[in-house]
């Protein structure tokens, strides 16, 4: 009897050991549920800047391959038309306007609550290694930042076990890299000081010392000079730690490749946040002249090369088929974003907006509708998907894939959509541009009335401000030329009510367009 009992226990033990590890998550047995997850995030890349989305004058073969062999979204959105809010939404699965997120100076405190659920935290809890390489721009520290000590809280405190990053943007000080909170290559005898309000005595500026510039400014960008490029904000010291702008792409790529090699034996999540084609556009000399469009075109070719090299590394390490790659951009395109870099004068026939209206900072489509695709060799079949999806939905969709029960306030689970098995995307999406919001529902977009200039003449972009509300059918009128507000008052009222319901009263104060 005893032996039988022991045998029974043994059988139970064996059964529990051989039980497939896949309990929850993807319901399809053919879809592995612990693939590596890579998010490649570009900065200011427009809907029409990639060959797969129609660009002809900028060769992007590496991006095109992934886009054309993956699920390529035509209605894929960043949450916002600027960087900080979009990154907040991607990493937290929460609408950025709930937090009042907007473009941050390099000295701003971290805007993600360290107690908040995030994409890397959710994945770490599922046994993933989590890493960041590239642009952060979600704030650091909780008040005054001393750049000569470990800067915290930052990426490490919101879920990234390893983080290599620039604090804000390439055009903002401090122009140094940080590794897990410490400024890389800092000489303790040459401490860094950073201030966005006033200059340090005797330090040259773009405004007062044009003779020191190799790239001139058009608007803003006239404070401290680093590598002959005038920046936003003032900085002193830290000479040995300053980055070389032309090497940034190679540096981030090398770190991303190293991350893959270091973590290939375990499931990993890598957020590879490239700096291109944000200003200042500083292609490595290898890419200068790669297009006829000047530096903006050349850095897109450089970014494309980085994508190709990165994918090659996954291949060489034998893990490409076990890696899901999500590619997108944090907001739409801008040509003149503050430097005289020929982006506007040499644009030729290229349309970075891909037929959409507006651009970065705009509530019109080109602000938030961006290149967005999901590539997973061997698992995802090529498809062009018209489903409505936002980067904010990556959280819930990936959570479902890996079997996590974690949830966030606004992320919608669209796993079958990102795997190309369904076109049932979101019903509604609130998009945001410099603290203003609008509602996308089905094929329609409702843009409430907003005060403010119709066009930002510095960047030459239509912002989506209008004295009366606007309504467009995006399926029939992609370029938003035919405002239906007057001809279809019923639908206008219906969408207006829906907008009020979803938008609620949080942070409703309409704030002045903030470009500083």
Q: Does 393 bind Ca ion (CB under 5 A)?
A: no
- 32, 77, 154, 171: which one binds ligand NG6 (CB under 6 A): 171
Assigned token pair, 111: 């805007």
Binding residue for ligand NG6 (CB under 6 A) from 139, 277, 283, 338? 338
Decide which of Ca ion, ligand NG6, none touches 137; Cβ closer than 5 to 8 Å per partner kind.
ligand NG6
Q: Shortest Cβ contact with ligand NG6: which residue?
A: 220
User: What, of ligand NG6, Ca ion, none, does residue 169 touch, CB below 5 to 8 Å by kind?
Assistant: ligand NG6
Q: Are the beta carbons of 14 and 246 closer than 8 angstroms?
A: no
Interface residue with ligand NG6 among 22, 150, 219, 346 (CB under 6 A) is: 219
Q: Which of 76-84, 95-103, 222-230, 307-315 is the region at the interface with Ca ion (rule: CB under 5 A)? A: 76-84
Nearer to Ca ion, 330 or 406 (CB): 330
* Least distance from Ca ion to the Cβ atom of residue 29, Å: 39
Q: Which residue lies nearer to Ca ion by CB, 330 or 462?
A: 330
Pairing of strands 234-236, 193-195: antiparallel
**Considering beta carbons, is residue 52 or 279 the nearer one to ligand NG6?**
279
- Exactly one of 125, 213, 510, 515 binds ligand NG6 (CB under 6 A); which one? 515
DSSP-derived secondary structure letter, 461? E
**Does residue 43 interact with Ca ion by CB under 5 A?**
yes
Is 247 in contact with 264 (CB distance < 8 Å)? Answer: no
DSSP reduced 3-state for 346: coil
Number of residues located near Ca ion, criterion CB under 5 A: 5
Site string for Ca ion, 288-327 (x = CB under 5 A): ----------------------------------------
Distance CA 357, CA 354 (A): 9
Rg of the chain (C-alpha set): 23
Choose among Ca ion, ligand NG6, none what residue 498 binds, the Cβ cut-off being 5 to 8 Å by kind. Answer: none
Question: For residue 385, with 0-12 CB atoms within 10 Å meaning exposed, 13-18 middle and 19 or more buried, which class applies?
Answer: buried
Q: Measure the CA–CA gap between 428 and 442, rounded to whole angstroms.
A: 7
Q: How far is the CB of 83 from ligand NG6 (least distance, A)?
A: 3
Q: Does 232 bind ligand NG6 (CB under 6 A)?
A: yes
E strand or H helix at 11: helix 2-18
Which token pair is 145?
Answer: 């930042």
Q: Which residue has the tokens 């529902």?
A: 441
Q: Is 411 in the site for Ca ion (CB under 5 A)?
A: no
The reply to whether 432 sits near ligand NG6 by the rule CB under 6 A is no
Query: Which one of 36-44, 364-372, 386-394, 421-429 is the stretch in contact with Ca ion (CB under 5 A)?
Result: 36-44
For residue 491, count CB atoms less than 10 angstroms from its CB and return exposed for 0-12, middle for 13-18, buried for 19 or more.
middle
Q: Say if residues 122 and 399 touch (Cβ distance below 8 Å).
A: yes
Phi, psi of 51 (to 5 degrees): -50, -45
Q: Which residues have CB under 8 Å from 440's CB, separation 6+?
A: 77, 388, 428, 429, 430, 431, 474
Cβ–Cβ < 8 Å for 45, 276: yes
CA distance 88 to 474: 26
Judged by CB under 5 A, the chain residues 82 through 141 that form the site for Ca ion are 83
The full length of the chain comes to 516
Choices 19-27, 215-223, 302-310, 349-357 (CB under 6 A): range interacting with ligand NG6: 215-223
Binding residue for ligand NG6, selected from 25, 36, 38, 44, defined by CB under 6 A: 44
Closer residue to Ca ion, CB minimum distance, 175 or 368: 368
Look-up: residue for tokens 């009128």?
477
Give the one entry of Ca ion, ligand NG6, none that residue 393 binds, where binding means its C-beta sits below a cut-off of 5 to 8 angstroms depending on kind.
none
> Using CB under 6 A, which residues numbered 63 to 92 contact ligand NG6?
82-83
Q: How far from the centroid of its chain's Cα atoms is residue 354's Cα?
A: 19
Q: In whole angstroms, how close is the CB of 32 to ligand NG6 at the nearest point? A: 35
Q: Residue 307 interacts with ligand NG6 (CB under 6 A)?
A: no
CB of 315 to Ca ion, least distance (A): 29
495 binds ligand NG6 (CB under 6 A): no
Report the nearest approach of ligand NG6 to the CB of residue 171 (Å).
Answer: 5
Burial (0-12, 13-18, 19+ Cβ within 10 Å), 253: buried
Q: Which of residues 96-135 bind ligand NG6 (CB under 6 A)?
A: 103
Residue with tokens 């590890």: 21
* 103 token code pair: 């473009």
User: Which residues contact Ca ion by CB under 5 A?
Assistant: 43-44, 83, 330-331
User: Which residues contact ligand NG6 by CB under 6 A?
Assistant: 43-44, 82-83, 103, 137, 169, 171, 219-221, 232, 278-279, 331, 337-338, 515-516
């Amino acid at each position: 009897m005893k032996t039988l009992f022991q045998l029974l226990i043994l059988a139970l033990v064996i059964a529990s050991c051989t039980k497939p590890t896949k309990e929850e998550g993807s319901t399809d047995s053919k879809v592995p549920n612990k693939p590596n997850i890579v998010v490649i995030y570009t900065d200011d890349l427009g809907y029409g800047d990639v060959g797969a989305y129609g660009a002809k004058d900028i060769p992007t073969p590496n991006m095109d391959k992934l886009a054309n062999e993956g699920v390529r979204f035509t209605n894929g959105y960043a949450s916002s038309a600027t960087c900080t809010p979009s990154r907040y939404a991607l990493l937290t699965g929460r609408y950025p306007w709930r937090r009042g997120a907007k473009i941050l100076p390099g000295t701003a405190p971290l805007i993600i609550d360290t107690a908040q659920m995030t994409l890397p935290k959710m994945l770490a809890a599922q046994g993933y290694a989590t890493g960041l390489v590239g642009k952060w721009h979600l704030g650091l520290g909780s008040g005054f930042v001393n750049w000569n000590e470990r800067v915290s809280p930052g990426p490490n405190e919101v879920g990234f076990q390893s983080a290599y990053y620039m604090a804000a943007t390439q055009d903002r000080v401090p122009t140094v890299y940080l590794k897990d909170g410490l400024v890389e290559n800092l000489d303790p005898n040459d401490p860094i000081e950073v201030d966005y309000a006033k200059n340090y005595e005797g330090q040259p500026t773009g405004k007062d010392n044009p003779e020191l510039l190799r790239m001139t400014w058009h608007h803003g960008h006239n404070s401290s000079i680093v590598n002959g490029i005038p920046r936003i904000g003032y900085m002193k010291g830290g000479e040995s730690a300053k980055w070389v702008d032309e090497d940034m792409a190679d540096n981030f790529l090398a770190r991303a490749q190293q991350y893959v090699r270091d973590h290939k034996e375990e499931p990993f999540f890598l957020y590879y946040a490239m700096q291109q084609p944000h200003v200042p556009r500083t292609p490595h000399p290898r890419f200068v002249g790669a297009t006829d469009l000047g530096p903006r075109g050349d850095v897109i070719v450089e970014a494309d090369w980085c994508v190709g090299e990165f994918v090659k590394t996954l291949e060489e390490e034998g893990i490409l088929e076990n890696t899901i790659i999500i590619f997108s951009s944090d907001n739409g395109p801008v040509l003149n974003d503050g430097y005289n870099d020929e982006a506007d004068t040499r644009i030729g026939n290229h349309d970075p907006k891909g037929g959409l209206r507006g651009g970065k900072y705009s509530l019109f489509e080109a602000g938030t509708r961006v290149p967005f695709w999901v590539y997973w060799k061997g698992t995802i079949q090529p498809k062009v998907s018209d489903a409505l999806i936002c980067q904010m939905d990556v959280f819930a969709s990936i959570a479902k894939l890996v079997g996590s029960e974690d949830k966030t306030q606004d992320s919608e689970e669209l796993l079958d959509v990102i795997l190309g098995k369904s076109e049932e995307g979101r019903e509604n999406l609130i998009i945001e541009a410099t603290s203003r919001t609008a509602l996308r529902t089905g094929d329609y977009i409702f843009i409430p009335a907003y005060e403010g200039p119709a066009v930002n003449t510095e960047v030459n972009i239509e912002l989506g401000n209008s004295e009366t509300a606007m309504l467009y059918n995006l399926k029939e009128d992609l370029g938003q030329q035919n405002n239906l507000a007057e001809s279809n008052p019923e639908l206008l009222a219906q969408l207006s009510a829906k907008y009020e319901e979803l938008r609620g009263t949080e942070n409703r104060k309409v704030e002045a367009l903030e470009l500083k």
